[in-house]
Structure 1
Amino acid sequence: MKRLPIIPTIIVAIAIAVMIGLGVWQLQRRGEKEAALTRLAANVERPPIAFPAAGSGNAALFRRSSLTCSRATNLRLEGGRSADGGTGWRVLADCPVEAGRVAVVQLGIAGKPDARPAWAGGVVTGHISYAPDARPLLSALYDRRPRALMLVANPPLAGLRANPGPDLSAVPNNHLAYAGQWFLFAGIAAVIYALALRRRARS
């Protein structure tokens, strides 16, 4: 019987241990995320706050807020849904605020992708949500920079349809799936190495 290859076995064992560790870490992150979601659900009923133009992370998500947009710029449309669940196009605008920063405002939902709502600016009230994120999905998984926030108008502006209300599903909670993937990878690595050792022993 051939001796067990020491160095390859150590390397595979370390790799499997790392993958199991990552799976356990994702399970811990799942518990943290569920606690955070509970806090976010309570934000809907908390008192209004000033819009965090510089961004203040998830702590401000779904809080009621307002801002005064002195000059709306860069009006654009992106796919989305209205308050009644119908499909449409979110109308977004940039509003200059203090210190040269720009706040993103979702005015409402348009029925056509070529809509050109007229809105020059004014007072916007509503709730805080995530602004559209242009980062690739894979990059967003490892990029720990906080996502930008925007103010979703309620009531809608410029004659548009109503925006949907605060939605907890906008906050990803895929840690259980990630944990399962790491455990699966660890199991596959163990099986492949065991088969390789078996084949080696027979040769």
Structure 2
Amino acid sequence: MTEPTDVAPARRWPLVPTLLVLVAVAVMIGLGVWQLQRKTEKEALIALFQRNTAMSSLVTYPKLPPVPDAVLFRKSSVVCLEPVQWDPRSGTDRKGTAGIRMIADCRTGAEGPGVLVDVGIGDDFTPPAWKGGDVQGTIVPGPEQPTVMERALGKAVPARAMLIADVPVAGLRASAVPSADNTPNNHLAYAGQWFLFAAAALVIYILAVRRRLRP
């Protein structure tokens, strides 16, 4: 008479870990779809900037942030009564030669915010002997842009606009104007990364569970 043999219970897929992985995969796929939507929005924004660049008519300089997209890369003019502060920063002139951008924070009246004006490129950090005046140029985003961490934490302060002078002040070279074509649009790559992460997580989890369920 033979003894009955014990039959090992069939192993099942772990419920809770599987649900957690599926939720994580769904979130990553959702982020990928969101990046594709952002890609379409950014392409429309770049097209707007390109149209703005082609316009020669003047618009009112936006003294208060946030700067409307409709005026970025448009021509404008301001009256700088007096440069109250200089903010020298690295930059290039319109021939691609590196130098120091001379950015003036100008007073425009007794009250209210001033305007930022890039009056040209110098060879050192010494501000020009410029006392103010009429300036015509191109509206671009100001140099003080919020960081990624500030945006993620909801603490981002909108950046001011800046006017890059068409004609530099005496002793300086004309600063290069950013091209609308250089507006970053990496959302397709970001979407691909999220989809790849989702696929990798799913494949790795399936292989790990199948290996665990082997008799």
Instruction: Give the structure 1 partner of residue 18 of structure 2.
Output: 9
What runs of 5+ residues in structure 1 fail to find an aligned partner? none
Normalising to structure 1: TM-score of the pair?
Answer: 0.89
Q: Which moved more, 1:124-133 or 1:160-169?
A: 160-169
**Contact 1:26 1:178 (C-alpha < 8 Å) held by counterparts:** yes
Q: TM-score, with normalisation over the residues of structure 2?
A: 0.84
Query: Match of 2:58?
Result: 48
**Aligned partners of 1:183, 1:17: CA distance in 2, in Å?**
10
The answer as to whether partners of 2:146 and 2:157 remain within 8 angstroms in 1 is: no
Summarize the Cα distance change of 1:82–1:158 in structure 2 as closer, same or farther, 3 Å threshold. same
Aligned to 2:99: 88
- What does residue 133 of structure 2 align with? 122
Larger radius of gyration: 2
CA deviation profile, 1:79-124 (whole Å, cap 9, x unmatched): 1111011111111110134652122111111122x33311221111
Q: 1:28 — aligned with what?
A: 37
List alignment gaps of at least 5 residues for structure 2.
1-9
User: Identity across aligned pairs (percent)?
Assistant: 44
| 8 Å CA contact 2:46, 2:181 repeated in 1 | no
Does structure 1 conserve the Cα–Cα contact (< 8 Å) formed by 2:118 and 2:163? Answer: yes
Deviates more, 1:61-70 or 1:22-31: 22-31
Per the alignment, do residues 139 and 183 of structure 1 end up closer, same or farther by CA in structure 2, a change over 3 Å counting?
farther
Change (3 A) 1:44 1:34: same
Instruction: In structure 2, give the amino acid aligned to 1:119.
Output: W
Residues 23 and 178, structure 1, Cα contact 8 Å, conserved in 2: yes
Query: Is the helix fraction higher in 1 or 2?
Result: 1
Deviation (angstroms), 1:186: 1.2
Q: Does 1:108 align with 2:117?
A: no
Count of residues paired in the alignment: 202
Deviation for aligned residue 1:175: 1.0
| Residue of 51, 55, 59 corresponding to 2:70 | 59
Partner of 2:166: 154
Listed as ranges, the matches of 1:160-175 within 5 Å are 160-175=172-187
Partner Cα separation in structure 2 for residue 145 and residue 57 of structure 1: 15
CA RMSD after TM alignment: 2.2
Structure 1 counterpart of 2:205? 193
Deviates more, 1:179-188 or 1:28-37: 179-188
**Does the 8 Å contact 2:116/2:161 carry over to 1?**
yes
Structure 1 170/105 Cα, relative in aligned 2: closer, same or farther at 3 Å?
farther
* Match of residue 28 from structure 2: 19
SS at match of 2:209: helix
Partner of 1:4, secondary structure, is: coil
Shift of 1:192: 2.8
Flag as ranges the 4+ runs of structure 1 deviating above 3 A. 137-147
- The counterpart of 2:82, out of the listed 65, 71, 76, is 71
